[in-house]
Structure 1
Amino acid sequence: MTRLVGRISDGVFINMATPATIREIAGRVRAGAEEAGRDPAKIQIIAKVRVSLHPDRAMARSRLRQVLTFYNIADHYRDMLKASGFEPEVNAIQEAFKAGGFKAASALMTDAYMDKLPVIPATSVKEIKERLQPFVEAGVDRMIVPYVPVTEPVIEDARRFVEAWGNS
């Protein structure tokens, strides 16, 4: 499918993928473009990396933990995460969800596992930008960076993030 993207489209949008997975996908997309006689550099590689920002990293992680728990129990995303090499973690979270619900599943979303996933719980915008660099190095031309609010009211938290991003 990704080779077909390179043959016929202007780009590909990649969600919930590590830099290593993005590198593989980008390679297949560009190979497809070359096979079709197209310039691979003109195919946009777009990736989505969720971020949260709070002076207390544990707080930044807390909201991303909720989002990631959902991804680990939702069918399509679960399959994507397994394909990225996280099958043992996904299976354990799935079993916990079946046995004890969302809270039990979320308890298995460890910091160590989260650190391997394409999300960035950060204490500064500078840190976010530094941690986005491996995605660029993997071949991403354009980045979608959804902000996951940490504090209430959500609109104020989002506003603080946008201001911090703009001032960095």
Structure 2
Amino acid sequence: RLNYKPSRVPPIYVGAQGPKMLEVAGMVGDGVLINASNPKDFEDAVKYIKAGAEKAGKDPSKIDVVAYTCFSVDEDSAAAKEAAKPIVAFIVAGSPSQVLSKYGITDEAANKVREAIGKGDIKGAIGLVDDTMLNAFSIAGTPSEVTSKINELLKAGVTQVVMGSPLGPKKKAAIDLMSGIASKFK
């Protein structure tokens, strides 16, 4: 219970990934929070959200589609990508085959990452993260590179982007860069 009267009814955002939950999110939510960084993840997601909104008699264009991304930015692209690898390793380890295959990541490669994590060899798991995995599960690079990737998400139907962990190899510098990037989209 709130100790004050809100100035408006707060919007409801539903976290969803699979087809049924995305449809339900479109039916009941004001927005959908999807833990994904790649436009491919939104191709079908937006269709399910739209179908749910239409079933509920809602205008699908009024539903926020939010990409909760693994985000890393630095003036040095390689440093930004290196900073994203620990997060990406855990995403790869937790992703099912059908998701991995969409990006050309083999079960064998993912199993090696899983095995390393299972043994507590986090450095080993990070070392197994390749460019295919980074591109599938993160937005990482220079300000120009990440801006381009954000634009791809917007073209896929995303309306908001959450710049999630790790942000970058140097947090303060990354936050300053993120501010400049965000200002391009206002």
Report the counterpart of residue 100 of structure 2 in structure 1. 85
The question of 1:54 aligning with 2:74 is answered: yes
- Partner of residue 15 from structure 1, selected from 24, 31, 35: 35
Identity %: 25
1:39, 1:167 → 2: CA distance? 28
Higher normalized helix content (fraction of residues): 1
2:123, 2:99 → 1: CA distance? 24
The question of 1:114 aligning with 2:130 is answered: no
Q: Runs of at least 4 residues of structure 1 off by over 6 A?
A: none
The question of 1:136 aligning with 2:151 is answered: no
1:25, 1:110 → 2: CA distance? 26
Report the counterpart of residue 173 of structure 2 in structure 1. 157
Deviation at 1:99, TM superposition (A): 4.3
Q: For residues 106-148 of structure 1, give each alpha carbon's deviation from its aligned partner in whole angstroms, at most 9, with x where no partner exists.
A: 111012321232x22222x232211211111111111112362
The number of equivalent residue pairs is: 158
Query: Against the structure 1 CA distance between its residues 139 and 62, is the aligned structure 2 distance closer, same or farther, given a 3 Å change threshold?
Result: same
SS in 2 for 1:59: helix
Report the counterpart of residue 103 of structure 1 in structure 2. 123
Report the counterpart of residue 26 of structure 1 in structure 2. 46
Query: Against the structure 1 CA distance between its residues 59 and 27, is the aligned structure 2 distance closer, same or farther, given a 3 Å change threshold?
Result: same
SS in 1 for 2:121: helix
Q: Which amino acid aligns with 2:144?
A: K
TM-score of the superposition, structure 1-length normalised? 0.79
1:163, 1:11 → 2: CA distance? 23
Deviation at 1:17, TM superposition (A): 4.6
1:84, 1:63 → 2: CA distance? 23
SS in 2 for 1:50: strand
1:167, 1:143 → 2: CA distance? 13
User: Mind listing any 5+ residue stretches in structure 2 that lack a counterpart?
Assistant: 1-20
SS in 2 for 1:49: strand
Residues 30 and 64 in structure 2, CA contact (< 8 A), matched pair in contact too: yes
Residues 2 and 25 in structure 1, CA contact (< 8 A), matched pair in contact too: yes
Query: Against the structure 1 CA distance between its residues 116 and 134, is the aligned structure 2 distance closer, same or farther, given a 3 Å change threshold?
Result: same
Deviation at 1:163, TM superposition (A): 5.3
2:174, 2:119 → 1: CA distance? 35
Residues 26 and 60 in structure 2, CA contact (< 8 A), matched pair in contact too: yes
Q: Which amino acid aligns with 1:130?
A: S
Q: Which amino acid aligns with 2:128?
A: L
Query: Against the structure 1 CA distance between its residues 100 and 8, is the aligned structure 2 distance closer, same or farther, given a 3 Å change threshold?
Result: closer
User: Mind listing any 5+ residue stretches in structure 1 that lack a counterpart?
Assistant: none
